[in-house]
Amino acid sequence: MAAPSGGMIESEKPLESWKEIAAYLRSGARTCQRWERELDLPIHRLDGTPKARVFAYKEELDRWRDTKLKRGGTARQALSPERARRRRPLIAAASAVCLLAVGAFVTARVFFLPLPPLPESRPTLAVLPFANATGEAQLDVWKTALPDLIITDMAQSRIVNVVRITDLYRGLKELGLEEADRFSDNDLVKIAERSGADRLVTGTLSRVGRGLVVSASVKDQKTAEAPRSVQAALRGVPGVFAAADDLTRGIKRGLGLAKADLARDIDRSVSRVSTSSPQAFLLYSQGFRLAGIEKYREGIISLQKAVELDPNFALAYKYLWRCSINTGRESDEKTYIRLAVDNAGRLSEKERGDVATLFFRNYEKDPAKEQEALRRLWRYHPDDRFGGIQLMAFYREREDWTNMRSAAEQGLAANRKEVIFCDGLVRSYENLGQGSRAEEVLDEFIASNPDHPYLVHLFDLKFYHHLLHGQTDAALKVLDLLDSRLPNTGDRVAFATMKAIAQIYRNDFPAAEAELRGLLSASEPRAVIEARLLLRDACLLQGKIGEGIGHLRWVIDSVGKADETLRRRVSVANVRYELAYLLRLTGDLPEALGEVEAALEVADQLPRSTQVSEDRLEAMKLKALLLLEMERVPEFEAEAEKVRQLVDQGNSPGRKKYYVHLLGHGELRKGNARRAAQYLWRAVDILSIPGVNLDGADPEFLFSLGMTYDLLEGWDLQAQGVYEQILLPTVNRLHKGDLYVRSLYSLGRIHEARAGSQGSKDEEIRVDRAKAAGYYRRFIDFWKNADPLFSAELADAGRRLASLNSR
């Protein structure tokens, strides 16, 4: 027989047909074929495809049979097949009962018994390219493919972490070592630092006699101990899978792990979590490595050849899906990820959880199956970064802060340096009303990770935490602390704008404008744009609508002339939406409608993943309200229906507030104030305060409800509560600052009316008059320099205040 491809020569003559294999095992050919499917009988094929000619090695068959015999397995029956066949009719029923009982027992153990806890500390491995010491050029392809097999095998483990192939390859490329197969001690130090691994695995393919041996060496970067070595025989191209399995087991045994942990670790044969075709794996290895350095089209060609050889190669389908996303091949995306899900039995639990979660979230839109996939992944791998992040996202979209907190706590316990879990835990505590615990988590993380590369983000969170609780002085101190600790780090534009935001929240507009005007002369276009956007917010709070419109028009014009980098950073859709909001205040409804339609047109050009977003729904809501105010009721109803359909497509029940809010305004337009109040209250009840961004909830939902309560006789207490909530720091004071100021005016009128009502006691009258006067003063102070369009409200507030002061 010709030597298998790859240039390897056999050390013994194999069994070359099912007939020879069956005779050796003293069984029937069909029984052996069933053992291959169900019991991992080590059968090889010349080219790795299902229809190719089979062969097997006696040594491997002997080892398989010995293993099954030790476990009391089916192979024992192969020693006396004739006797087994004679007894079969007599024991068929009993066997069926036993099988059902055993099946039930195994199922119970797999699905209901708890998995063992993860070890407190787990080594992290980086498996580097192997050296080819044979001098045979045809073996060079296995220098990276064999380590990739070991990484694929090791990725199943619950007790060992392994650096993923693409992450490792990118790191080696950054160090200029992507073509290396031998590494100096200095190289190993750099690789360990870059990859975060504490154990590095190097290896060599060498020839011993006529056979091949793979040697792997495990070096502990934290100790001066000599590297530990393991070996595995490599019997032909198909033998790479058995060799990888042997090396994986040997490497894990050499790590000093507890025997109980090793015994209960997940460790399926690598051919069962990838492919049984060596050629398909070679093509897969080449394909995702090309994708890892963004050569997606070349990667697709290689991966497509891999699935032609093995149509059930789920890992290859997964990377074809990823490549399709990165090359804009939308028609192929769902096809490939569905094929990966359909063949999920050929994936490790980690890979299966990854694929199933994203498929049921982004393609099938099945939240129940998405949650099932995440829970399964989280059960097997409660330390998995991807699983933890996706589980947090699942609960975050549903504003389920209790379950999000649990996922974040578990994720942070297993990934103590991972900022995203700290972020999720802080946001969960804030939305659960446990602000002090949120601050403790932040302080603990910062203290434990003083040199963390994302420390700036944590200070940002701490800044918004203080704003959220009305502690503007403390928020400014956080910025001073950040400036002193990280003088050469961070975004200076963001630093200045955050300082201005704190000044706006304390109503110190001169200080905020001074900070922002310092950015207007900056050479960096983004600095000027950020300054003008915040100046617009300050203008809105002061009733300077014309000036705010000027800032936004400047931004739109500048971004249109800017380079691609700046256009990606500035959301023109959001700027046009904000311009439409200001134009609506001036009464120019047609131009406002034109701007919001332009905003939606820009949003339509964004990637699909961003289309069902809060910003898009906010723009659609504004368009519907403008149509309603222009008496274009049928168009309003059509737009409201579009909002409903878009909300139903998403995974966040909280987004239903946009549609319910529109229903309320529709009833209000019909004169049904009581029914409108019911809808608007439902929208407020759905509203998340402070929300996931920790910069406050949208006050428009509250203001619409308060305005409707004003129309209902005897509902002044309810209206008062709603307007008072708008004044809380947990509700956003930016973007819609006019509603904040108008709430002051409305509260003044409520307290003034109550002071004049019959039956009030003298002390109650005095308190209500004092409160009314206070609210009017604050209203006038905000809008004392407002545009003429607010002159009527200002004059009315002035008259009312004068009347109250004269009593």
| Alpha-carbon 182 to chain mean position | 37
Q: Are residues 171 and 31 in the same domain?
A: no
Cα separation, 258 vs 117, in Å, equals: 12
- Of the listed ranges 117-126, 563-572, 596-605, 754-763, the least confidently predicted one is 563-572
Q: Are residues 107 and 136 in the same domain?
A: no
In terms of average pLDDT, the best of 95-104, 251-260, 536-545 is: 536-545
If DSSP codes are grouped into helix, strand and coil, which group holds residue 201? strand
**How much is the pLDDT for 367?**
87
Cα separation, 353 vs 374, in Å, equals: 6
**How much is the pLDDT for 489?**
52
The CATH number assigned to the domain holding 261 equals: 3.40.50.10070
| Alpha-carbon 283 to chain mean position | 29
**pLDDT tens sequence across 661-703:** 999 999 999 999 999 999 999 999 998 888 888 878 899 999 9
409, part of any domain: no
If DSSP codes are grouped into helix, strand and coil, which group holds residue 202? strand
Give just the sign of the alpha carbon dihedral 69, 70, 72, 74: negative
Domain that holds residue 774: 736-805
Q: Are residues 71 and 86 in the same domain?
A: no
264, part of any domain: yes
- Count CA atoms closer than 13 A to 28's CA, side-chain side: 7
Classify residue 26 as left (phi > 0), alpha (psi -120 to 50) or beta. left
The CATH number assigned to the domain holding 745 equals: 1.20.58
Residue 229 sits at φ, ψ, to 5 deg, of -115, 145
337, part of any domain: no
Cα separation, 651 vs 395, in Å, equals: 10
Angle between helices 509-520 and 525-541 (to 10 degrees): 160
Cα separation, 256 vs 253, in Å, equals: 6
CA distances from 652 to 65, 82, 177, 394 (A): 53, 63, 45, 9
Q: Are residues 87 and 72 in the same domain?
A: no
Length of the chain: 807
470, part of any domain: no
Q: Largest Cα–Cα distance in the chain?
A: 114
Contact in structure between 270 and 149 (CB atoms under 8 Å): yes
Residue 485: count of CB within 10 angstroms of its CB = 14
Q: Are residues 52 and 90 in the same domain?
A: no
Give just the sign of the alpha carbon dihedral 55, 59, 63, 69: positive
If DSSP codes are grouped into helix, strand and coil, which group holds residue 146? helix
Residue 203 sits at φ, ψ, to 5 deg, of -155, 170
Q: Are residues 73 and 88 in the same domain?
A: no
Cα separation, 41 vs 72, in Å, equals: 16
Q: Are residues 91 and 155 in the same domain?
A: no
Q: Are residues 129 and 266 in the same domain?
A: yes
The pLDDT mean for the chain works out to 86
Q: Are residues 128 and 264 in the same domain?
A: yes
- Of the listed ranges 45-49, 423-427, 441-445, 595-599, the least confidently predicted one is 45-49
261, part of any domain: yes
Q: Are residues 168 and 216 in the same domain?
A: yes
CB within 8 A of 297, min separation 6: which ones?
A: 323, 327
358, part of any domain: no
- Tokens 């992040």 correspond to 389
Which amino acid is present at 379?
A: R
Residue 4's pLDDT band (boundaries 50, 70, 90)? very low
**pLDDT tens sequence across 137-164:** 988 999 999 999 999 999 999 999 998 8
**How much is the pLDDT for 1?**
32
Classify residue 160 as left (phi > 0), alpha (psi -120 to 50) or beta. beta
Cα separation, 466 vs 474, in Å, equals: 6
801, part of any domain: yes
**H or E element at residue 178:** none
Q: Give the residue ranges of DSSP H helices in 46-131.
A: 58-70, 81-111
Q: Are residues 215 and 161 in the same domain?
A: yes
If DSSP codes are grouped into helix, strand and coil, which group holds residue 484? helix
Residue 19: count of CB within 10 angstroms of its CB = 11
Residue 306's pLDDT band (boundaries 50, 70, 90)? very high
**pLDDT tens sequence across 339-370:** 999 999 999 999 999 999 999 988 988 888 99
- In the predicted structure, residue 267 carries a pLDDT above the cut 50: yes
Of the candidates 721, 688, 690, the residue with the CA atom closest to the CA atom of residue 435: 690
Q: Are residues 88 and 74 in the same domain?
A: no
| Domain finish residue from 237, 272, 307 | 272
Cα separation, 281 vs 288, in Å, equals: 11
In terms of average pLDDT, the best of 98-102, 634-638, 710-714 is: 634-638
**pLDDT tens sequence across 103-125:** 444 444 444 446 778 887 889 99
The CATH number assigned to the domain holding 73 equals: 1.10.1660
Cα separation, 720 vs 755, in Å, equals: 14
282, part of any domain: no
| Domain finish residue from 257, 272, 287 | 272
Residue 490's pLDDT band (boundaries 50, 70, 90)? low
Contact in structure between 538 and 510 (CB atoms under 8 Å): no
Tokens coding 627: 């149509």
Residue 521's pLDDT band (boundaries 50, 70, 90)? confident
Which amino acid is present at 257?
A: L
Task: Specify the number of domains making up the chain.
Answer: 4
Contact in structure between 246 and 213 (CB atoms under 8 Å): no
Burial class (CB in 10 A: 0-12, 13-18, 19+), 335: middle
Cα separation, 751 vs 801, in Å, equals: 12
- Of the listed ranges 1-15, 322-336, 505-519, the least confidently predicted one is 1-15
**How much is the pLDDT for 696?**
80
| Domain finish residue from 94, 113, 132 | 113
- In the predicted structure, residue 83 carries a pLDDT above the cut 80: no
Kindly state the average pLDDT of the residues 160-171: 85
If DSSP codes are grouped into helix, strand and coil, which group holds residue 232? strand
- Tokens 């990606």 correspond to 568
The residues pairing with 220 across neighbouring beta strands, listed in sequence order, are 199
**H or E element at residue 752:** helix 737-755
Which amino acid is present at 23?
A: A
Angle between helices 385-397 and 419-431 (to 10 degrees): 20
Contact in structure between 783 and 540 (CB atoms under 8 Å): no
**How much is the pLDDT for 69?**
61
